[in-house]
């Protein structure tokens, strides 16, 4: 089933597959064999090999959740600023979910979506660089929608249905998400970088709060998130001064 959505980019070409190992893998293969338009989106409700950051697995019960990948050509974006794309996608998921969740919705650095202390969505972005700019990006998104029980060892998953008690039409939600993503992508294309960075910080989990963290060497410290570096590293102020952390170099304790 191939569908047309009323957007300028994301989801204007919307390709549905009954089952896939991974929407990202399919999107990458599609990109190598075709000339897709900017924003072509592949989705399925039966993804059995999805993964998250650094190879972590993404649990998704068949016909319960949204799994999709969007092919983008953000060649206007310098490679040193590629984290702006991650911020853009995080904000798109936030915008979409905020139609249903009225409190405690946050973006957890770098690009997970949390409600309170539970994870409802995640992102996996695979970029191809050309010189100093991005050439193409495959943006994978997983959002827990109607799943009632999680069986993997993931520590803190939650679904939209668990939070609201409602069951949702997945086709409608895919369309809604594509519209939300399209609006944010157009903001990125218009180079509204400061507005994107500001919106991301305003919605960032534990931003400006004193909390307990653990470094990669297992040392524990109290600190406060003060910002995001241009390369996407998390900036935390502590008694040791201002430190910057890449993915997996720091973890939240409490």
pTM equals 0.94
CA pair distance 242, 157, nearest whole angstrom: 31
CATH number for the region 210-252 comes to 2.30.30
CA pair distance 54, 215, nearest whole angstrom: 17
In CATH, what class is 2-202? alpha beta
Alpha helix (H) residue ranges in the chain: 23-33, 83-97, 160-164, 170-189, 193-202
**pLDDT, tens digit (0-9, with 9 covering 90-100), for 158-207:** 999 999 999 999 999 999 999 999 999 999 999 999 999 999 999 999 99
Tell me the torsion sign for CA atoms 25, 73, 95, 84. positive
**pLDDT, tens digit (0-9, with 9 covering 90-100), for 75-100:** 999 999 999 999 999 999 999 999 99
Angle at 178 between CA 43 and CA 36, to 5 degrees: 60
- What residue spans in the chain does CATH classification 3.30.930.10 cover? 2-202
- What residue spans in the chain does CATH classification 2.30.30 cover? 210-252
């Amino acid at each position: 089933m191939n569908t047309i959505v009323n957007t300028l980019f994301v989801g204007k070409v919307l390709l549905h597959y009954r089952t896939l190992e991974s929407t990202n893998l399919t999107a990458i293969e599609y990109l190598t064999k075709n000339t897709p338009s900017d924003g072509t989106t592949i989705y399925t409700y039966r993804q059995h090999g999805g993964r998250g950051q650094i190879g972590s697995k993404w649990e998704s019960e068949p016909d319960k959740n949204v799994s999709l990948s969007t092919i983008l050509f953000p060649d206007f974006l310098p490679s040193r600023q590629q984290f702006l794309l991650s911020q853009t996608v995080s904000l798109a998921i936030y915008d979409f979910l905020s139609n249903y969740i009225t409190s405690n919705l946050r973006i957890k650095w770098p690009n997970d979506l949390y409600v309170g202390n539970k994870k409802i969505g995640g992102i996996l972005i695979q970029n191809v660089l050309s010189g100093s700019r991005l050439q193409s990006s495959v943006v994978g998104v997983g959002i827990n929608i109607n799943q009632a029980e999680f069986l993997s060892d993931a520590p803190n998953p939650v679904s939209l249905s668990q939070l609201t008690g409602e069951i949702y039409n997945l086709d409608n939600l895919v369309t809604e998400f594509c519209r939300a993503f399209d609006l944010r992508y157009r903001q990125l294309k218009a180079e509204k970088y400061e507005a994107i960075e500001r919106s991301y910080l305003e919605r960032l989990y534990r931003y400006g709060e004193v909390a307990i963290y653990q470094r990669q060497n297992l040392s524990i410290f109290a600190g406060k998130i003060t910002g995001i570096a241009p390369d996407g590293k998390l900036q935390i102020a502590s008694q040791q001064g201002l430190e910057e952390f890449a993915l997996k170099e720091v973890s939240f304790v409490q």
